[in-house]
A = this chain, B = another copy of it.
Amino acid sequence: MTSLPMLLTDAVADVGAEIDRRFDTLLAVPDDPRAGLYQAMRHAAIGGGKRLRPLLVMATADLFAVDRNCAALVGTAIEAIHVYSLIHDDLPAMDDDAMRRGKPTVHKAFDEATAILAGDCLHALAFEVLADPRTHADPFVRSELVLDLARAAGPSGMAGGQMMDLEAERARFDLPTVTRLQQMKTGALICAAVEAGAILGRVPPEGRTHLRGYAHDLGLAFQIADDLLDVEGDEALVGKTLRKDGEAGKETFLSLLGVDRAREQCRMLVEQAVGHLRSYGPEADLLRAIARYVVERDR
């Protein structure tokens, strides 16, 4: 971790603690038969993960001097969607994973029914937070945030990408199809996080082109780095079972490009992502550091 600029390590620690605090408040365990449901949500949501998506919301919002409380709430909502998707993806009928973020997955620590419902609840809570006047006073901003996130989460985004990923075990996808799959499965929510920062900053859609370019390239680089970690990573550091894609016979960036070209492609995408930020000054250094971290990370 010493190769990362201090700016990034500080921001990662700050945002991690901030998001944990928000989830702790949002998911206070009630004294009734739903206690297990809330414990399951807390198990999945608190104390783990890189918090990349909230970090992107907050780093983008910082470009436009957005209120930090507001950006943290929006980051929490997007992370809630990410966490719900991990809970559901780990289910036996889906990827059937036993470990996530170094802990047992929710259906292992609790049971399958609780895992399904915990995911569904985090999904609804994300939109409840975004539509709450206490998150942002302007209803136009609130409804833009909801639209941004709902599109990214649904069948044209994350959940659609997950469906394509399931089909990838049965079909042989080519590079454009794998790229589209990953752009939906991982990229859409990463783009939604940057877009949310721009919405909070009241940047009109036509002023978001560079930020969108940054997020698009970052999302793909992130997924290639994830594929590389899946092959070369240390399970103890990454916190989940690795090398499952190869066993399942799925085409990935790695199987299609080979390790060397995939690594090269990842580096190129990161430089391209950073290039999109050229109109910004030092205020975008954190976004630049996040992009560079993507190629260097070991978890």
Contacts and interface: CB of A to CB of B under 8 A. Distances in A.
Interface of A: 32-34, 36-38, 41, 85, 88, 91, 93-94, 111-117, 119-121, 123-125, 127-128, 130-133, 139-140, 142-144, 146-147, 149-151, 153-155, 157, 159-160, 162-164, 166-168, 171, 173, 177, 181
A81 to B, nearest CB: 9
B143 A139 contact: yes
Contacts of A160: 34, 37, 121
Contact of A150 (B113, B127, B151): B127
A166 B93 contact: no
Given A34-B155, A113-B166, A123-B123, 8 more contacts: A33-B164, A33-B168, A34-B164, A91-B116, A117-B162, A121-B154, A121-B155, A139-B143
Given A37-B160, A114-B163, A128 B151 contact: yes
A157 to B, nearest CB: 8
B147 A131 contact: yes
A123 B81 CA distance: 12
Contacts of A37: 155, 159-160, 163
Contacts of A127: 127, 146, 149-150
A93 B116 contact: yes
A123 B125 contact: no
A155 B112 contact: no
A58 B22 CA distance: 37
Contacts of A34: 155, 160, 163-164, 167
